[in-house]
Amino acid sequence: MAGTGEAKKEEADYKRLHSFPLIRHTDMPEEMRVETMELCVTACENAAKMIKESMDKKFGSSWHVVIGEGFGFEVTHEVKNLLYMFFGGSLA
């Protein structure tokens, strides 16, 4: 059982490391870089909400939107009302 505690620690470390934007290269001044990063993070966090609200407004309520990587789902849906797509490789 000692391995279980270590595995949970590794998983927590992985989540911590991947919960912030990782800059590969930049030549922006720090103030511009920080603001740009905040805008990008906010856009990603709000994308599903924006899509759902737009779909609810245009096509009626009860839409569900999930954005991410490495997940599965099982849903009941109306015919001709499901879209499952990938964008940029593994983002679904």
Domain locations in the chain as residue ranges: 29-86
pLDDT class of 57 with cuts at 50, 70, 90:
very high
Backbone torsions φ then ψ of 47, nearest 5 degrees: -60, -50
Q: Which pTM does this prediction carry?
A: 0.57
CA dihedral 90, 87, 50, 66 (to 10 degrees): -40
Q: In angstroms, how far is CA 51 from the centroid of its own chain?
A: 13
Per-residue burial over 53-79, b if 16 or more Cβ lie within 10 Å, else e, is: eebeeeeeeeeeeeeeeeeeeeeeeee
Most confident of 36-40, 52-56, 72-76: 52-56
Average pLDDT of span 53-74: 88
